[in-house]
Amino acid sequence: MIGIVDCGIGNIASVENALIRLGCDAERLTEPGKMHTYDRLVLPGVGSFQYAMGSMQDAGWVDAIHVYAASGRPVLGICLGMQLLFSRGLEHGDTAGLGLIPGEVRVLEPEPPCKLPHVGWNTVSLVREHPLFRRVRSHVDFYFVHSYQCVPRDEADIIARCDYGGSFVASVVRGNIAGMQFHPEKSQPAGLKILENFADWTPEC
């Protein structure tokens, strides 16, 4: 069973509908205390890093996610959810993140004529092969909506990159923790294939 974290920071319906369309057992998770009952976890998110972390901390999600991640079960962060996996975010100040992937989240600084936010379809190029991208070819388009980028401390965590007036990280994996800056649930067949792969993924921790 896949638990989709519903703590008020993301469009849960689109992720839930995509997973159900794929035939996955998935449902919204609204109580941190029930997290341990799920086989894998999806953390969607849109909005501000600082606000999201404050809301999650106040509601008890942060400690619950740490315990869950330590169990070795798969975790997937999407868009802001990917950014929250990192050590710190620099949006509206310096805010501690979940710290599951070493690194920071800083504003995109694209070269002109590219402007923020980065919205729409863009090409993702694989840096290395990974089970989450099984049968997903490199140089295929995915759907993005963001103004900030993840900068991992260890480049070995990078799975894919994208270019928008300069290169930025599109996907990361560290052990059982994965992140997609794009929205797989809105990215048609290629994105749905990634979600399907996540449902079958057995991480090597």
- The catalytic residue positions are 79, 183, 185
Look at strands 140-146 and 118-126 and give their pairing.
antiparallel
Exposed, middle or buried by CB within 10 Å (0-12, 13-18, 19+), for 11?
middle
d(CA 125, CA 13): 28
**Cβ proximity of 145 and 162 under 8 Å:** no
Angle at 83 between CA 32 and CA 42, to 5 degrees: 40
- Rounded Cα gap, residues 131 and 138, in angstroms: 13
Phi-psi region of 188 (alpha: psi -120 to 50; beta: other; left: phi over 0): left
If phi > 0 it is left, if psi is from -120 to 50 it is alpha, else beta; for residue 164 that is: beta
